[in-house]
Structure 1
């Protein structure tokens, strides 16, 4: 019996453990931190051997196969040790994909992947059986076990792509590439770019690669590397013969001379970046023969993703917007770009080496006050101190929201769009977003 060792007892780890057991592996789960109660219960109920708060090397180095959680960097000594013993190390999407013949739509990118994945799933599920997994909701492995759909939409991160071997989506979407997570890539942007492009490395000429043709990083990489799959670009600025483009308030999609045109006046998602997400999702739907009417109606009734430009409440004619999922500068760029009223901006957290320059035009034009919410806000004061009349700092969400309430006037927006990771003051971006929403509701 082959031994499968799983490092990390979270969603992807426990999903892999269940699928591994079902497929006849001897399974062992090891987590250096504490495994949450809900996951402990699943492991106990399924008689799966596990440990937490430690990694026992003797129980790990005798593995035939290791699945590591995307949160564990390659630099960790234990991982190096596993690799020197030539034990195969893979990610959960790689493990799960070995046990399905389903049609896979995989979506990655620095920003927009969650919205694009949720929107693609929303359109497809109107007409076909389809699961949504990966970084979003249940793990892919667990869904294979429970549902075994014919189609899956997977949101995949660069960390998951780092540990693939044969993973081959029928349709791959790359939304954009901006510097992010560089601490995991030796601070080399090209390493991060290569990691994102692994999404197409096993594709053949039967498969499709859907990408943002306006992104210079992507276009440049495609010019200099050969990609086997059929290219379907999308663009806001140029008219394309093949792929999707936007002009005169409509999206035109052409695949093999088969053209559809969709008006966009009534799309629920706001902002130019969401037109791009809509083009990517609609291209997949068109490939899978979803009817044009269904695609259009789905774009018009899609509610968006929690913590991504989510309209919370309007109080005294001030709109409160939760964009906690903006954990990098580029995501906040989109948020500020889509603001159409004077904005009180709540920003800050754990800085990943941010360069705030690209936000200057929007801050000058739209932001009337800045509330810094982080342990260390020096960099924000240096960047924006001279641009706004009001800039204050706090370490409590409830206080940040109270200050925003005081400095805003009728017709303003209050926007939480941190441009930073959340780990200095919050458990994760979801926790940060929920605290914001609770504080707004308590005003």
Structure 2
């Protein structure tokens, strides 16, 4: 039996362990931290050997293949030792792809990939296709391959997951956009991060498709310097395209594949903002490639609810709209969020800065932001950037105070927007925890 070792006992690790056991591997899972009880139960139920709270190097280094969870960096000591002895270290996506029966649709990008993935899955399932959703969202891809028989898998893929692929090739790949993010994992070189994103197309063939943002500078520059065998399909909100998807007169998106034109009015897209017009373009292009009927696409776009923590309307209290955009952990995400605001806005921002350049937000802040509430341990960079731009700027160190302070500043027909531009780990467990605390604090205003 081939010895498979899995590093990390989270969703992707446990899913890979279950698939590996099903496919006849000798499986051992090791997590340096603590494994959640629900995952331990799944491992025990499937008779899989595991450890947590540390690594037994002798067992790990005896592996013939290793699946590394995406949260574990390549520079980790145990990973370096495995690579030194030439043990293959792959991602869950790579491992599961060998056993998948259906086709995969892989969606990556710095921003918008969660929404695009969810919307694509919504369009396909409403259109009658047997499709699963996984990767960096929902149930583990490997877990689904082990237990479900989908014809299509719609996968949200991070650069960390793509770093660990060798043969993986999606039938349809999407790169929503690329902006500087996670550079600490890429030697602080933007070009390394860009290359990681474009790994999604490296194994595609002439019968596959790469959908990309024709307005995105990093994507366009990469495509000028490199080649892919995939059929290229662009989308844009700035230019008219003969093939692909584009915005017409700020009122409708035009989808044109093989000279079959589909026109959808932007007012019929349920999720707000120009960035969501782009996400919708990418998802509809996929749906058209999958032969989903026009009537189904139109209906699905109208009633799609969107992703939690992404421009999520929480409540309207005293005429003030509260919006949870906790998933906006970089400047590019916040740009789209502020750009979509149609009222004066109280902006809750802050957390662990990831090398942000706030200058590109300055025009939007001047035009739309009434007050800034800094929610973080260290807000000096934010204060330096915007302290002279807005009249009101305060610091808080917990979500309850952030929401209550925002309520004081907001008048009827204005908006309170949580869009942090930063990671959450100074005050919160995750961006999900931050978003849920925001929603709870807003609901408490009504009690």
Task: Identify the TM-score tier after normalising by the shorter chain.
Answer: over 0.9
* Residue 20 (structure 1) aligned with residue 20 (structure 2): yes
Deviations 1:352-411 (A, max 9, x none): 111110110111111111111111111111111111111111111011111111111111
Alignment partner of 1:430 out of 404, 429, 432: 432
Structure 1 residues 237-246 or 424-433, which shifts more?
237-246
Alignment partner of 2:300 out of 293, 298, 301: 298
Distance in 2, matches of 1:305 and 1:101, equals: 28
RMSD of aligned alpha carbons: 0.8
Distance in 1, matches of 2:334 and 2:418, equals: 9
* Residue 212 (structure 1) aligns with: 213
SS at match of 1:265: helix
SS at match of 2:234: strand
- TM-score, normalised on structure 1? 0.99
* Residue 32 (structure 1) aligns with: 32
Offset at 1:284? 0.3
* Residue 44 (structure 2) aligns with: 44
SS at match of 1:411: coil
* Residue 181 (structure 2) aligns with: 180
* Residue 196 (structure 1) aligns with: 197
Distance in 1, matches of 2:132 and 2:435, equals: 26
* Residue 328 (structure 1) aligns with: 330
SS at match of 1:144: helix
* Residue 380 (structure 1) aligns with: 382
- Please show how residues 192-271 of structure 1 align to structure 2 within 5 Å: 192-248=193-249, 249-271=251-273
* Residue 350 (structure 2) aligns with: 348
SS at match of 1:327: coil
* Residue 82 (structure 1) aligns with: 82
Alignment partner of 2:406 out of 397, 404, 407: 404
SS at match of 1:125: helix
Q: How many residues align structurally?
A: 443
SS at match of 2:429: coil
SS at match of 2:427: coil
Offset at 1:332? 0.6
Distance in 2, matches of 1:372 and 1:29, equals: 41
* Residue 273 (structure 1) aligned with residue 275 (structure 2): yes
Distance in 2, matches of 1:160 and 1:2, equals: 23
* Residue 359 (structure 2) aligns with: 357
* Residue 99 (structure 1) aligns with: 99
Offset at 1:260? 2.1
SS at match of 2:314: strand
* Residue 121 (structure 1) aligns with: 121
* Residue 286 (structure 1) aligned with residue 288 (structure 2): yes
Unpaired runs of at least 5, structure 1: none
Asked if structure 1 preserves the Cα contact closer than 8 Å seen for 2:3 and 2:25, the reply is yes
SS at match of 2:373: strand
Which contiguous aligned blocks of 4+ residues in structure 1 show a shift greater than 3 angstroms?
A: none
Distance in 1, matches of 2:247 and 2:367, equals: 26
* Residue 138 (structure 1) aligns with: 139
Distance in 2, matches of 1:258 and 1:74, equals: 45
SS at match of 1:152: strand
Deviations 1:66-111 (A, max 9, x none): 0001011111121111011111000001111110131111000000
- TM-score, normalised on structure 2? 0.98
SS at match of 1:352: coil
Offset at 1:258? 2.6
Asked if structure 1 preserves the Cα contact closer than 8 Å seen for 2:101 and 2:149, the reply is no
Distance in 2, matches of 1:180 and 1:153, equals: 23
Alignment partner of 1:394 out of 383, 393, 396: 396
Distance in 1, matches of 2:37 and 2:101, equals: 33
